[in-house]
Amino acid sequence: MSHTSTAGCPEHELHTQVEFSSDMPHEGSPVTEFRQTPDRRFLRDFYNKVLRFPDGFETEIWSFEDETSGRVLPAPLLRAREGEIVHVLLNPSKRVHTIHHHGMEPDPRNDGVGHTSFEVTGEYTYQWLPDVGAAGDPNRGAAGTYFYHCHVNTTLHVQFGMFGPMIFDPPSGRGKAFFDDPVGYDTRAETFMAPYAVDPRWHFLDHAAGLGGEDVGLNRFEPTRFYLLGGNLNGFGPGDVKVVGDVLATVPGQKPGLLRVLNATYFPTTFTFQDGLKAELIAHDGRALRNTAVTPSPPVAALTNVLSFGAAERYDLRLRPPAGAQVGSTFGIRVDFRHWITGEVVGTRNARVRVI
């Protein structure tokens, strides 16, 4: 069989998403096809730095920063409204990376999954649009809690810290969790919490460790450090590593506080809401809970004091203190990190809920 060399030939252009998804480059910095004027622009520069955690532990972190954030963990919040065109400019600066906006379903070019899209070598502007919700429609709307992360050697790079929170509000903005949220929430008391565990062995591995099929231990997650990353969404606290201080709730009868949780570890976690505090589950993985037995499908909620969920799952929770709770009352949340096979508790952290 003869083979014709293509050396010196100009690279052919891919004008449609079908052409692109069936004939994609492995690496590159292509232009953003079908580019539109954005409503929101975000910059995500790659960084690597040894960060010091509040307990004194230090390790190398890889993550993203923007023009003003500094080098922080988790990476800066990405927040937009349904129906807004979003642009995210990635500058990998060190080797190749991508950004996968977890839960969004854009075209293949903007999906950020390296092996089905491309890995960015120079820069790339991701473009996508969160779907606008419709009252009673379980198939519409993107308002809720998400996260973004690198999708090159994903298991390792997310453990290194290449992830950040991503929140979409309904067109009306903050104060409602989704388009037809009948209750809403107090914007003063909106908290993001991400359980995160560190396996120090992994933080000494190379960028591409394990991609050649060699066993580097990425099937053995053995964390020794456990944290609750995040904080109040009106402004995370001080320090390069942002950890949750007080989770805020409100007096019964007022608009409730909203807790947005992401499991950013590879172990299942269990939240136990203590001292009479209840969590009202209203959304899972960016989708409002609804009664789909009827049409239109109204929002529903589930009241609980225990929540167990796995890696990368997200929940939106209204916080419900017991009757009689007053300003200054405090309650507890215990977060147990459980071994993914045995279910054994391997680490525990506690958060304080304070009523405002």
- What digits encode the pLDDT tens for the residues 71-109? 999 999 999 999 999 999 999 987 899 999 999 989 988
| Range 50-78 average pLDDT | 98
Considering the domain boundaries, does residue 299 fall inside one?
Answer: yes
Is 79 within 8 Å of 167 (Cβ atoms)? yes
What are the beta bridge partners of residue 59?
51
In which domain, by residue range, is 232 found? 17-211+222-355
Residue 115 — very low, low, confident or very high, per pLDDT cuts 50/70/90?
confident
Number of domains in the chain: 1
Considering the domain boundaries, does residue 57 fall inside one?
Answer: yes
Residue 49 — very low, low, confident or very high, per pLDDT cuts 50/70/90?
very high
Considering the domain boundaries, does residue 176 fall inside one?
Answer: yes
**116 pLDDT above the threshold of 50:** yes
Considering the domain boundaries, does residue 217 fall inside one?
Answer: no
Average the pLDDT over each of 19-33, 178-192, 264-278, 289-303 and give the range with the smallest value: 19-33
Considering the domain boundaries, does residue 41 fall inside one?
Answer: yes
Considering the domain boundaries, does residue 9 fall inside one?
Answer: no
- Tens of pLDDT, residue by residue over 231-255, are 999 999 999 999 999 999 999 999 9
How many percent of the chain have pLDDT more than 90? 87
What mean pLDDT is reported for the chain?
93
Considering the domain boundaries, does residue 216 fall inside one?
Answer: no
pLDDT at site 28: 79
Q: What is the CATH number of the domain that holds 40?
A: 2.60.40.420
- Tens of pLDDT, residue by residue over 14-27, are 555 545 545 556 67
The one-letter amino acid at 127: Q
| Range 38-64 average pLDDT | 98
Considering the domain boundaries, does residue 12 fall inside one?
Answer: no
How many percent of the chain have pLDDT more than 70? 93
pLDDT at site 7: 44
